[in-house]
A = this chain, B = another copy of it.
Amino acid sequence: MPQQPLDLKPLFEPAAVAVVGASRSQAKVGGMLLSNLLGAGYRGRVYPVNPAAALQGKDIMDLPAVASAAELPDGLDLAVVCLPREQVLQEMRLLADKGVRAAIVLAAGFRETGRLGFEAEMELKRIAQGAGMVLLGPNSLGLISTSCGLNASFAIGQPKPGGVAFFSQSGAMCVAVLDWAMSLNMGFSRFVSLGNKALLDESAVLRYLGADPETKVILGYCESVEDGNEFMAAAREVSAHKPVLMLKAGSTAAGARAVSAHTGAISGSPAAYRAAFRQSGVLQVAESAQLFGLAQVFATQPLPTGPGLAILTNSGGPGILAADACARSSLTLPRPSTDTLSRLTEILPSFASAYNPVDILGDAGPERYRAALTALLADAQTHAVLVLLTPTAQAQAQATARTIIEAVNGAENVSAKPVAACFMGREAVRAGRELLQAANIPCYDFPEAAVEALDALYLHFRRTQKNPPPASSCDSEENLSGGSCDAPWDEEARYIVEAAKTRGLIELSGVEALEAAHAAGLPVLTTGLARTSAEAVRLAREIGLPVSLHLATPEPGPATGAWSGSGGETGPAGSMGRFARLGDEEAVRHAFLALTSRAARLRPEAYVTGCLVQAALALPDEGGFELVVGFTRDPQFGPLLSFGLAGVTSELLGDVSHRLAPLSPEDARHMLREVRFYPLLRGARGGAVVSLGALERLLMAVSRLALRLPMLVGAEFSPVLAGPGGVHVAGARLTLG
């Protein structure tokens, strides 16, 4: 449910804060929160609410206690509710009456505990919505906003100010990230524990952080997203101008089951999340360690304008490991230009390698590092530099760190190229590492992690430069109805599906499914159902010879599935269920009898309705492909389209691409290009050259079909015959809800 845009300023930058349930005791949440709030240097006014203390006229941490929420000034920006669950609703009603603009509810015991908790959470939400109040939580650790010195959390520790924002559904991840970040000396703008997300969720926070001038890069951890479309719209908007990195727990089927057990929510498929992140420009990180590695480089470095990475090292081994990591990434290791090479040759001793990795040898001191780094930063082939250091006797980690900082700052275009370092080891390089980090040059433990981070930076550059995510295309009326698909649409498609549903069918296949697909604008081969051999001949005559024959049975499974067997479309007298390219009427009659009698003999239990008679392609499509296009419906994100080779191979090899509908033309292009067999479609190694335009139109038409016929739970078009003769849908199966 798209919400009206919330003004989150009272939450993130409040002029005054009430702590409801404030306490003197550090063992209590209300005490930890108040002490965090006062300790972080918050400059606004603070009202501790505590009836007992107020009754006794006592101060709490030197602030006069307020007896009740009812005594707070009207229109206060933020109230943090530190009370146990039982008292939360009552207090929230008071806060709503006083026109408090934002509230954070810390107590657990709501939705995550079952039906009663769920109802309490719904009531909480109603109170907030009714008063136009922003609500963070419940079950939240709170929020930190370093720019205004606000630490309204009961987490331990206060991060230093900086450009990184972090939001998380999991409180545990908040605690861990905060602790890690402090040990890495990483600076944060905002730190948000979303908790149960009764009102404020990833989408709303993303939009706020996107517009927040204090935030340079956004990190998120999520387990599930409630409103997939709203999330994608927000992410698209923000990622167009600010990097968004997300760790999605439950990125495997087993993990997704664990999410459901944990949150009680039905989590969408991992493939749908991957597609959603990709289509909305979010960089999905695979493991928790990466979140930190990537955040450091995104928070401090400019984007590289190309893939060329120069590796500068004082030892062979780590340089080779970095080169290996580079080969696994989208970065390249360009040879330095002739100018750079001759400059390096001047600088370096004779046994050094001036190529890439540039190995300046184990006896390299700080000055050799400076000279080589300066030369590489000036090289046009170099878009990013990785500086590796092994603590040899001569390396002097601290002094070298200083020369690296000077070389980077002294480079002609200061900060024009990203630089990362990897100082190998721990204690021997700790001081050098800290110098670099303090100077905003990220320094990694291992070469592979450094390359991975620079690679992500480049991928983000490529995404935002070449393919800016289309601006919230899913909002427009045009797109909701299938949008930019230019294939004809006939409402007949809807009537066929609705009629089948009325008949109580759960699946539509054979001629009816193909007719619906045809009406929906898909390029379907003309097909008829023959119940007798005479009918087959008549149909063949109507359709025009040559035709192919397929066994028709309403059951799903092998019999109709023979479409997608391993034989080629031009196969002669093939597998159990089909005959292709029958040239004359006698052959049609013979094929009908052979198919039906064989079926009766081999699978007497099968209910055979006859044979499908289908137009054969004008030309035998040599080297053509049998493809499959389809969709399922994801609970969070709606129609999830898939594209791959028909038959078992692509599924078995995981070579299937996914995108969510509505598909932009860009999405359709990428779906084709993402599968590993794509080069074959371009004629590589004897593959037939297929019209990509026709395939893209087909994908767009399937996207529209999925959006216009919401009663379809899924669809599979297989085989789609694609070759020089065109793109033709030869089989279809529609699943009804």
Contacts and interface: CB of A to CB of B under 8 A. Distances in A.
B570 A570 contact: no
B362 A182 contact: no
A288 B447 contact: yes
Interface centre among A318, A324, A558 (most CB of B within 10 A): A324
Given A318-B172, A652-B680, A677-B652, A566 B623 contact: yes
A250 B561 contact: no
Given A317-B221, A429-B179, A324 B254 contact: yes
Interface string A160-196: 0000000011111101101110110000000000000
Interface size band for A: 35 or more
Contact of A255 (B157, B168, B289, B324): B324
Interface stretch (A83-91, A365-373, A482-490, A684-692): A684-692
A431 to B, nearest CB: 13
A230 interface: no
Contact of A175 (B156, B424, B687): B424
A261 B355 contact: yes
Contacts of A179: 391, 424-429
A123 interface: no
Nearest to A172: B315
Interface string A301-329: 00000000000001111111101111110
A680 to B, nearest CB: 6
Contact of A182 (B351, B357, B427): B427
Contacts of A426: 179-180, 182-183
A262 B352 CA distance: 9
A622 interface: yes
Interface string A440-454: 000001111100000
B254 A327 contact: yes
B175 A391 contact: yes
A409 interface: no
A499 interface: no
A333 B257 CA distance: 11
Contacts of A32: 393
Contact of A446 (B288, B319, B680): B288
Contact of A648 (B561, B572, B686): B686
A258 interface: yes
Contacts of A171: 315, 362
Given A289-B445, A572-B571, A565 B686 contact: yes
Contact of A289 (B168, B429, B446, B676): B446
Pick the 10 closest A-B CB pairs, nearest first.
Answer: A172-B315, A170-B317, A179-B425, A252-B327, A255-B324, A176-B424, A183-B426, A172-B390, A262-B316, A254-B327
Given A175-B390, A288-B446, 5 more contacts: A172-B318, A249-B321, A262-B359, A287-B325, A288-B447
